[in-house]
Structure formats: structure tokens, C-alpha cells
Copies of this chain bind each other. A is one copy, B any other.
Amino acid sequence: MADQTNPLLDDRDLDFLLYDVLHAERLVELPDFADHERETFDLLLKTTRRFAREVLYPAYKPMDESPPVLANGRVTVHPMMHAIYPKLAELGLINASRPASVGGMSLPLTISTAAMAYLMAANLSAAGYAFLTTGAAHLIEAFGDEDLKATYMRPMYDGTWTGTMALTEPQAGSSLTDVKTAATPTDRGHFLIRGSKTFISGGDHDLTENIVNLVLARIDGAPPGIKGVSLFVVPRRRPTREGLVDNDVSTAGVIHKIGWRGLPSVILSFGEASDCHGYLLGEPHKGIGYMFQMMNEARILVGVSAAATASAAYHESVAYARVRPQGRSMKQRDPAAPQIPIIEHADVRRMLLRQKAIVEGALCLSLATSRYADLAFHGATPAARSHAALLLDLLTPVAKSFPAEKGFEANALSVQIHGGYGYSSEYLPEAWMRDQKLNTIHEGTTGIQSMDLLGRKAVAGGGAAIRALLEEITEAATRARTADVPVSWIDAVTGAGAAVAAITAELGAFALGGDVEKMMLHSVDYLELFSVLVIGWQWLQQAAAAREGLARQDGLGDFYEGKLCAAQYWIFTEIPRIPALAELCRSGEDSYGRMKPAWF
């Protein structure tokens, strides 16, 4: 009952975002990307989108219906995944953005992110094996010695082995300060690891001969708290002269997730037989810092997965709304007249346009943030790099949480548009809605993102990042004016920018005055209003590019008109919400602040 022609992501839209809006082709002017040209970008995208549609997507529903099974201590995954995995590894996306020195393609993250979005839209679980491995291997690349890189990073980057991030423990959840897994030094260089980790995605499977876990643990005698947590490479099987041998990592259970069901989430036990070897990555006690240096990338990818999941559902509902006849227009009073497709009803178009505004706004932000990551690491000058780094840090919590939170709403709208059929598992929208819910939870909940944004990024350096953001908005406004975007649209976005800068300064003043709790009380409302602005800025840029496209008369008029409607929708429906949200933050409205546990 799925629409087999679902494009998952609209190719025109990706081209538009990458090239018309973000001018990603200009990245090849930077020395680190000089080996590339737009044609190599497009080739990768073409290969990936074809693989996503022809190989990954047909496996999505079967994998959702038959999740991995734990038996005799090991997890086996869906048979289709066995056929998929080697081809997925072959695509080269696992290390596409890494330099040639480690076997990669030196592709801008902007491009590899766009490519990854196709895989995620087609089959989140299948894509997960790849991007989890990227994250884990990248940590070894960044902080490991040559031995660790040769032994572990290389086979991970080439797809021979997969990787995991083993952070969460049952008693600690999001509180990494409370990690208890123990690492006891030995005189043979390795540590003996002992402890339990939970919710480890890809923590067990039968796709590859080995799985490499990046494990947060505490070296015996380490200081308490965050400053005593180290990072270890802990393979499922360890290489010896006799080949791979069991490393005392066992699978204690599988969690029955409600989505991402093709990717097992497992409980791992390390060292039950006191023979689990772990290899320290970098220096002792610096594990949390290392993790956080990789966090931007991981969080952007969660946002991309959220946008991609919402995109697949959006396209499904557009296709459904075009063919499903029901009812008549308000002006048509003849019941004998034929029914019209539901897309003709304004309220259905409202739901579709809201989905479009969320999906394409989120995708644009994902790519824009990836571009700042490229510029932060590869920019032409130190000033360009630090400007981009400020924006990367500032935008990451939004790029993570906005697609997750509003993507869930968009996914629910897709169910709604499908009516009773949307409420059945014969159709796909409900599955995407289940998939989406994880994104507000993993890699830092929305609450944690809001604290990261307001408590760290927005007020750091006297508001330097906000000033950098306002510069970008000013630039977008200039482009929009040149392109004849209506002045009222531009003013709405620049006005919102000023309002957000003002409330940020006011909240920062609470903290300077010693009342951090007052500043942080409405951090989620702040995240919300900040996100509305950031997405408004994405839509202003898209509106400018759409006007430029219309002026070119390049035959994509319908596409550009749709972009302008979505931009208008966001700017006039969402931006006006900012003042009331800012007032909430400013007033320190204290209902839940003063609510006592016993009062619930």
C-alpha cells in the first residue's frame, strides 16, 4: 500500500538547496576540496539516491516488520540486511568526508550529508549501521595512535567491521557524569573493562565478523564526575596472532524499540569473565571531551535522519492527497458532481504545506550547518574558520532538535492526511512516525539541546555567536532584497533576529546577576523561538533563490512557486509566535518552576 514511486527526497529540492541556496559548488575553491568539482558531487548523489530507492527502500517495511532476534547469546538481523550491507559499505559513504590519508574521499560534509539523507529517508536502520561506524571510527582517527588506527579505524572505514558508541548505562541515562563502567590497567598495555551499557545501537548483529565499541569507562582511582571518564576501544573480538578471539563482550538483552526496528538496540555486558580488553583512546580522563568534539557531527546527523524521515512521509502524503477523492469544494453544491482529490481542500493543503515547510526548512538547516562544519575545518582563513565554528556550535542544537520535534509533528500530519488508512500498519506513515520519535531522545534530549543552546552557545563570548548569526541573516536579507522578495517578508525575519538577540541579552543578564536558574527556566521556549527564527532565515534564503530561479525562467516555475508559498507560510505563521515566547522567557513565568513534586 506504499507509493512505490515515493522519491523519499525531491532531487530538484536537494539540487536547489545545495547549489542555488548554499552554493556548495564553491566549496571546491577551498584547498582541501580542490580535487573535487560539482560533477563529482553529483555523481555521488546520483549513485546514492539510486541505491536508496532501489535497494534500501524496498527493504524498509520487511525490516520494520521483522526486527532482529536474540538467540543463543547473539543477535541475528533481517536476511535482507545481509544482502544490503556489503553494497552499503561499497558506496564509500562511511568515510566519504574523511581525507585520502585514511582512505576517504575528502568530500565536503555538506555533500556526504546530502547523500546520507537519501539513505536515511529510504531505510533509517540500514543507514544506521553506516553512520554509527563513521562516528566511532572518526573518534579513533582523531584521538587514537597509529596502532589503534591501523587495527580498528581502517577496517571500520572500509566497512569490514562496524562500530558503536557505548555511552549510556542503565543507572545513568543522559547523565554521563555517572558512568560506572570500570577500567583496570594491566601491565600489558590494555585495560580490563567491566560494566554494562544499554541502548547500544548496532551493539550486536551478524553482518560483520567484528564490532568495535567506543566505551566510556572510569579508570580505577579516577576522580569522580565528568573529569574521571575515559574513552576506550573495546572490540567484540580482539585481534591476536591467531586471528580474532572472543573479547568477553556479551549481549545481555535486546530492547524492543518502537522504531528503527531494523537496527538492534542492545544491552552489552563487558568483562563478565574478567577478560574484556579495552584500549585507551587518547589520554586518561578526557573521554567526555573527546565525545563532545564529535558531538556536532553526530547531532547534525540525527537532525538529518529526522528531516529525511519526515520527507519520506511528506512525499507519501502529497501523492496520496493527489489521488484520494473525497468530498467537494465549498462552492460545489451538486452532490452528483464527482468527488475531488483531497489536495483540493484548503485544510489538506495546510497540512501538506506545513509538512513541506518543516521538511525543507529542516533539510536546508542540516545542509547549512554541515557547510559551516566544512568551513570551520577547511575555511580559507582563520577568521572564516572561527566565524563558521561559532555558527556551527550555535546551530547544532537547533539542527538536532528542530527536525526531531517538528518532524514528529509532520509525520503525525502524514498519518492524519491518510485518515483511517494512516492509522493502519498496511500503510507506511505510522512506521515513519514511530521511527521519528527516537530523534527527540537519543544524542541528547530536546531539553538537553535547549540547555546547550541557551546555557552555553548563545551567551558565550558576550553573544559572539548571536552576532555572527545576525550577520548571516543580514546577508540573506540583502540577497532577498536584490531578488525582489517582498519587503514585508524580509522585515519579518530581520525583525525576529533583532528580537532574538534582545531576549538573549536579557536572559544572559539574569545569569550575570547570579540567577542562572531564572535564565534557564524557559530554555525550551527559548530553543523554540530561536528555532523559529533559524528556520525563518532558511526560508528567506530559499525565497531569494526561488525568486532568482523564477527570473531565470528555467522551466521550474511550479517548483519555485511552491518554495515561495512555503516561505510565506513559515514567515507569517511561525515568526509571529516569537514575541509571546520571548515574553515567557523574559517574565520568568514560574508555574513549573515553583511546582513541587508532591503537588502533581
**Residues in chain A within 8 A of chain B (CB atoms):** 168, 171-175, 177-178, 198-199, 224-226, 255-259, 265, 318, 321-322, 324-328, 330-331, 334-336, 339, 341, 343-350, 352-354, 356, 408, 412, 415-416, 419-420, 422-426, 430, 433-434, 437-438, 440-442, 445-447, 450-451, 516-517, 520-521, 523-524, 558-559, 561-562, 565-566, 568-569, 572-573, 576-577, 579-580, 583-584, 587, 589, 591-600
Query: Can you report 11 A-B residue pairs in the complex whose CB atoms are below 8 A from each other?
Result: A175-B328, A178-B335, A226-B335, A257-B423, A330-B520, A341-B597, A343-B597, A346-B521, A347-B523, A353-B592, A565-B595
Cβ contact of A353, chosen from B224, B326, B591, cutoff 8 A: B591
User: A595: nearest residue on chain B (CB-CB)?
Assistant: B565
- Within the complex, what minimum Cβ distance (angstroms) separates A489 from chain B? 11
Which residues in B have their C-beta under 8 angstroms from that of A198? Answer: 420
Closest Cβ neighbor of A557 among chain B residues: B599
The residues of B that contact A318 with a CB separation of less than 8 Å are 600
Q: Shortest Cβ distance from A167 into chain B, in angstroms?
A: 11
Say how far A477's CB is from chain B's closest CB, in angstroms: 20
B599 pairs with A565, CB closer than 8 A: yes
Q: Which residues of B contact A322 (CB under 8 A)?
A: 597
Q: Given A347-B523, A592-B346, are A425 and B258 also a contact pair (CB < 8 Å)?
A: yes
User: Which residues on the B side are within 8 Å of A583 (C-beta)?
Assistant: 576
- The number of times this chain is found in the oligomer is 2
Structural contact, B173 and A336, CB atoms closer than 8 A: no
Q: Nearest chain-B residue to A174 (Cβ)? A: B326
CA distance A352 to B593 in the complex (A): 12
| Highest count of chain B CB atoms <10 Å: which of A331, A339, A516 | A339
Please tell me which one of the listed residues B171, B572, B593 contacts residue A346 in the complex, with CB atoms under 8 A apart: B593
What chain B residues lie within 8 Å of A450 (beta carbons)? 347
Nearest 10 pairs of A and B residues by beta carbon: A225-B335, A562-B599, A569-B591, A347-B447, A175-B327, A568-B591, A349-B592, A353-B592, A576-B580, A350-B592
The minimal Cβ–Cβ distance linking A181 to chain B, given in whole angstroms, is 15
- Judging by beta carbons under 8 Å apart, are B558 and A599 in contact? yes
Distance in angstroms from A520 CB to nearest chain B CB is 7
* Min distance, Cβ A61 to any Cβ of chain B, angstroms: 13
Find A592's partner among B224, B565, B577 (CB 8 Å cutoff): B565
CA distance A324 to B198 in the complex (A): 16
- Residues in B neighbouring A577, C-beta threshold 8 A: 577, 580
A445 to chain B, nearest CB (A): 7
Among B255, B328, B346, the residue within 8 A (CB) of A420 is B255
From residue A285, how far is it (CB to closest CB) to chain B in Å? 13
Q: A165 to chain B: closest CB distance in Å?
A: 14
Complexed CA–CA distance, A592 and B256 (Å) = 40
Contact (Cβ within 8 A) B336 A225: yes
Chain B residues with Cβ under 8 A from A446's Cβ?
416
Cβ of A579: which chain B residues have Cβ within 8 Å of it? 580
Residues of B within 8 A of A597 (CB): 321-322, 341, 343-344, 349
User: A445 is contacted by which of B225, B419, B440 (Cβ under 8 Å)?
Assistant: B419
Contact A419 B173 (CB under 8 A): yes
A558 partner residues in chain B, CB cutoff 8 A: 596, 598-599
What 18 additional pairs, Cβ within 8 angstroms, besides A168-B420, A419-B441? Answer: A172-B326, A178-B339, A199-B420, A224-B336, A225-B334, A256-B425, A257-B423, A322-B597, A349-B592, A352-B600, A353-B600, A354-B592, A415-B437, A420-B441, A561-B596, A565-B591, A573-B584, A573-B591
